[in-house]
Amino acid sequence: MQKKFLILVTLVFASSIYGFYSTFTMLFNNRTPYVIECRGVRLDSSKVIAISNYERQSADTLFFHFEQSKVIMPHTLAYLFFDKAKNEFVLKNNVCVFNPKNTNPDNYFLPFAKTLNDGKFSKGKYFGSSETISQKILLEQGIKYNSGVGTRENRVSIELYKFNNQVFLKTKDDGICSKYLIQRNTNNVFDIILNQPTNTKNPNVFAFDNTTSSSARFSLEINAGTFDVAYKIKDNNCAVIQEGKGSNPFFIVGGYLFSINPKYTKIFSVIYLLFFVCIICFQIYFLNLYTNTGSPVVRSLFSIRVLLNCIVFLATPLFLTSYYIAAGRSYYLFLVLLLNVSFFISKRVLHKIDLRKHNGFITKTIWLCVLLAPIFMRLFTQNESLFGLIPVLHVQKIIILFMIFVTQDNFFNSYRYRYWLRIAFIIGYTFAISFITSDIGSFIYTALAFLLVELVRKTIKQRTVIMCCICVFSLIYITYKIAPETFSDRKAYRLIAPYSSPESKNLSYANQADRESYSTLLLNLKNIVDFNTPNFNDLVIPANMRTTCFSDFAFHWSLSFGGLAFFIMFLTVTLFLISDLILLLYCSIREFRIGENKSFAFPHTREAELVRFLLAFTIISFIYPVASNTLLIPLTGQSIPCLSISNIEIIFLILLLISLSSIFSNEKYINTNAKTKYYYADAKISMKYALFSVVLLLVIAFVLRVISLGFIDNSLVWKKHVSDESIKLREQTPSCEDKNSLVQFAKKIIGDDDLTSIDKKKKPVLKNFASLYYSNKPYTQTVYESSVFTNSVSKLLTQMTMDSIFNTKSKLISGTLHPFGSVYAFSQCVNNKKIISVTNDYYKCIPFDAQTINADLTAECARELELHLSLMGNPVNIGSIMIVENKTGKVVSNSSYPLISNINSNEVYYFIGSLKKLLIAYAALKIDISYKNKIYGNKSFQEFLQYSDDYYSAALLKDLLQNNKEKLNEVLTNDFDLPLYSLTDDAYLETMPTNKDFKKELNRNNTIYRQAIGQQRPFKFSEVMKWYSRVASGLKIELNYLKENKSYELLSLNEEERTFLLQSLNKVLYGTASGVRIALKKNKIKTDNLICKTGTAEKSNKKGNSASSFILSNDVYSIGIMLKGNIPENNRKLAAKDLFISLIPILTKYKIM
């Protein structure tokens, strides 16, 4: 006892120090104690506000935009104005808005309007066409607009806010709703700019242009302490026009309401300190009781309480982080106090309960509840929680306790294996509920709890469990190897994710958010193992993990905060806690002697089975999340009691501890005529053996994980996919001109779904149709998002470091040659969006965090690109020059024109022309080597590429579609991440040819012909560059800007056929690119090892071209040029290949050629 007592005291002291340090650091020494936020714009009763994307302004109307959903909704949603008759502001819906509670509209792409801030159990209210919404509703609840095909990100919210008897509008436009952190003891300067350029050196800017007609510029200076803040507002002449101070000040600037909000108020800090002191007092009290009791079982109960409080101390960083990230976390403090106070609850009331007396009506009622529970949970479960509040796991726990109770009598009495049939029935029932609610974690926990009980009872041998685990893992492994797409579903992906890389091509259609989360966890574990995480007060949790950092991933992020100190303390506390729980589990399973002729006979009672299950479930809830957070086993999304800031877990701990305290102090369980020879000492030996097995298993698993992290690349790069193509349709997608067919097509997909809750799997397809309907382009081509996801240990570390938010000083980006002198880049936030400013516009296209770009080379290429496009005399033309390292995918140059643009031209969709012919040539050689001997239109395979023969390309595509369609899809998907056809993702075909198309003559009127020659379906130039780099290197590279080296898989085409393809592409220098070959020889550059391809997209009227492209690859680099717009005919010598010739001296200068 003395030894364990000293260990407990040490753990209490260490965890208290950790908790105190966390409290002091985060409450009283926080680097960013305040946040500045724009709350809204003041409403003017003389003006109308149109919630509209029209680019207009007038004397009496302002147009507030909703960029987040402009391509899937009508231009105008509503009008906000002052109603003189009602003497208040009202919102009037546009005629396009429908009320789904009345009837479905003919057009399923129309938006609906619903109250925004509804209560937990309120369904809210809908508003329809031209309906007027009162100021009261806008103040109390707000309104949200969305399309049935839209997601949460597409929501348009309208709320009103009152301050000093003035009404303000809160909606997501301009700088409204933007927030910035404020550093303590620093002069923080923010610019507030109204309808003026944002050319400022201050790192954080609030900019307004749509939401006001005024023109002004202000600077806001803020000095923050721990619990108070002072601010000054200056005009454009640096004159102070307003100042103030306080703990949470509000002020108005230029008609906009701002607030400076504390993360932690002074009152909260005092309350938390009192809470901390209370827990310390409880720790001392329980330790005192521990020393004054002679019963080892009762000591275990006190030890459990002490150790749970230690975990609460270790959870301090997560609690304080969650407090300002999510609402409602303060209940955690109250429940922890209740957990401790529960010790004083009288046990006598529970002593009087006799479960043997409760049968008949109560049993029938419980059976009825058990049978109705699946239906009830199917109807009211949202996001794996009953009513969206109570996790399914805990609801299942209650139901299982009821089932254990009611099945103890009259259940399969005539069967020999009654007990095992009961267990199988309960587990089967649990699986059914888990299936219904899509929460497989509940089933896993329940099954493991029963397994643990049977292991302790020794009715199942460890060898049997190990063999079963090997069989299960073998089955998963074989399935993964044979049919990896089986694991693309979100739940199934969790089974394989810990043992595969997020960038695995086999899982390319898994949910994108899940893959990104796993990449963050994996790379952060790598940083943790390398002791390369930010300091305690400098850590920022990445945005994609903030909603789950204090629940599902509590151990992982606590480990990030506390590092090795937390790891040692938490594992020690947890191991002692589990040892006590296992000991109690043994005591609830087997009768043991506690004195002469006395034994503890509780295991023979009805309630023993209930307690066994609760104890086993609690043990699993402490072990499983730790293993899953370190990616040893599949994630289930369950919380760790006390460490996770979750209220439900603590409630169940309270019930467990009250039950255990009552049971082990109840004399009715003492048998005075004991015959058992099993002593408490035997139970303790069994407990130590079980604990040793758990520790050994965890240690082995941790060591293997640490070793495996050493083999993982420091960077993860993959091509994103929008959908898993779960929507299968026979019809072709209608054209954007046929609006009615698009609507009818959408109706077929939506089916019987409610328009306000369409199946998530259908939305990517439907978004594309809605975008075609409103903007005449697919959603993926109108809303820019990089098609490649990249993450690395260094990039993640930058995101997680507080300094990355504030270190926005200018940095030198020009290189050693500096052809334009010293050039600096400056990163600033405008309305929470990163904007890069440079001192020379030729460097503008370079990403601020790019690690691979040769800045001087990029700038010189940009100058040549600008000059070349200026010769065409058309200001709307755009262009791009890219240089990629073939074997690594590192982007060396990404020059773009126009120089100042929100998007690099290499990410713009355009018609690539004959560049597309590479794909069909590659696929043909991979599918059947006899294709290289095929003759179409009197042209050979090599002549087809050399002279870019259109007919050959069309005939070859037709052949492959008719005879090798599935293989063609497989090659394009596996080697180029390009499915043959897709409703959502980029694909080789725009439309799948019909039987009529196959019978038509192959000419420009045939869709097979047009798609074969690079017309009809546009692509991004960056994607095309990736295709050519892959063929040049023979590797499945991904374009990236990361300095870390990566290893890539080989392409599936064997080396002999790839060499033949490269030789064929070399002949282009003697065909359509012969002028390039002549220029290269003049510059004494050998051409034997070069491959190239030209691409031209001719206009439909045959007067000039809509695009011109050229790509050339040597052993090291691929150099590509794209021109788009009104491009002159090739005889004008202004094509992309002609620009390449002018680039040769620059490429030689920088040793690219």
Predicted local confidence at residue 668, as pLDDT: 62
In this prediction, residue 358 has a pLDDT band, given cuts at 50, 70 and 90, of low
**Lowest-confidence range among 366-380, 904-918, 1060-1074?**
366-380
Residues 6+ apart with CB under 8 A from 933: 940, 941
Q: Count of CB atoms within 10 A of residue 641's CB?
A: 22
**Lowest-confidence range among 50-64, 632-646, 681-695, 1089-1103?**
681-695
Predicted local confidence at residue 279, as pLDDT: 96
Q: Sheet with 390-391: list strands edge to edge.
A: 381-382, 385-386, 390-391
Give the C-alpha separation, 440 to 430, whole Å: 9
DSSP readout, 128-190? -TT-EE-HHHHHHT-EEEEETT--GGG-EEEEEEEETTEEEEE-SSTTTT-EEEE-BTSEEEE
DSSP code at position 838: E
In this prediction, residue 802 has a pLDDT band, given cuts at 50, 70 and 90, of confident
Task: Give the residues across from 48 on adjacent strands.
Answer: 61
Q: State pLDDT tens for residues 760-787.
A: 888 888 888 898 899 888 887 777 777 7
Give the C-alpha separation, 388 to 390, whole Å: 6
On the question of pLDDT at 895 being above 50, the answer is yes
Residue with tokens 């420091």: 714
Nearest CA to 19 out of 652, 616, 566, 775 is that of 566
From the number of C-beta atoms within 10 Å of its C-beta (0-12, 13-18, 19+), residue 744 rates as middle
In this prediction, residue 1076 has a pLDDT band, given cuts at 50, 70 and 90, of very high
Q: Where are the alpha helices (DSSP H) in 664-736?
A: 680-709
Cis omega (within 30 of 0) for bond into 898? yes
Residue 1051, amino acid: L
Residues 6+ apart with CB under 8 A from 634: 444, 494, 495, 497, 498, 628
Task: Kindly give the pairing relationship between strand 111-115 and strand 126-127.
Answer: antiparallel
**Lowest-confidence range among 26-40, 597-611, 843-857, 1045-1059?**
597-611
Tell me what the mean pLDDT of segment 7-13 comes to.
94
On the question of pLDDT at 516 being above 50, the answer is yes
**Lowest-confidence range among 278-287, 390-399, 921-930, 984-993?**
390-399
Q: State pLDDT tens for residues 572-584.
A: 999 999 988 988 8
Range ranked top by mean pLDDT from 11-25, 792-806, 823-837, 934-948 = 11-25
Predicted local confidence at residue 725, as pLDDT: 43
Give the C-alpha separation, 526 to 591, whole Å: 47
Q: Where are the alpha helices (DSSP H) in 315-439?
A: 316-325, 331-341, 348-351, 361-380, 392-406, 418-437
Q: State pLDDT tens for residues 111-134.
A: 999 999 877 667 789 999 999 999
* CATH superfamily ID and name for 849-912+1020-1153: DD-peptidase/beta-lactamase superfamily (3.40.710.10)
What is the greatest pairwise CA distance in the chain? Answer: 110
CB 992 within 8 A of CB 981: yes
Tell me what the mean pLDDT of segment 1084-1090 comes to.
91
In this prediction, residue 724 has a pLDDT band, given cuts at 50, 70 and 90, of very low
Nearest CA to 755 out of 111, 66, 96 is that of 111
**Tell me, which fold does domain 34-39+175-262 have in CATH?**
Tumour Suppressor Smad4 (2.60.200)
On the question of pLDDT at 675 being above 80, the answer is no
CB 272 within 8 A of CB 330: no
Instruction: Estimate the share of the chain in helix, then strand, then coil, as percent rounded to the nearest 5.
Output: 50, 20, 35
CB 573 within 8 A of CB 15: yes
DSSP readout, 220-254? EEEEE-SS-EEEEEE-TTS-EEEEEEESS-EEEET
- At 1026, list the tokens: 């990736």
How far does the chain reach from its first CA to its final CA, in angstroms?
77
Give the C-alpha separation, 742 to 779, whole Å: 14
Nearest CA to 99 out of 89, 87, 86, 113 is that of 113
In this prediction, residue 438 has a pLDDT band, given cuts at 50, 70 and 90, of confident
Range ranked top by mean pLDDT from 37-41, 347-351, 359-363 = 37-41
Residue 1151 or residue 537, greater confidence: 1151
In this prediction, residue 508 has a pLDDT band, given cuts at 50, 70 and 90, of confident
Residues 6+ apart with CB under 8 A from 101: 126
On the question of pLDDT at 847 being above 60, the answer is yes
On the question of pLDDT at 473 being above 60, the answer is yes
Predicted local confidence at residue 1115, as pLDDT: 92
In this prediction, residue 1077 has a pLDDT band, given cuts at 50, 70 and 90, of very high
Residues 6+ apart with CB under 8 A from 149: 72, 108, 109, 746, 758, 763, 766, 767, 769, 770
Task: Give the residues across from 1121 on adjacent strands.
Answer: 881, 1110
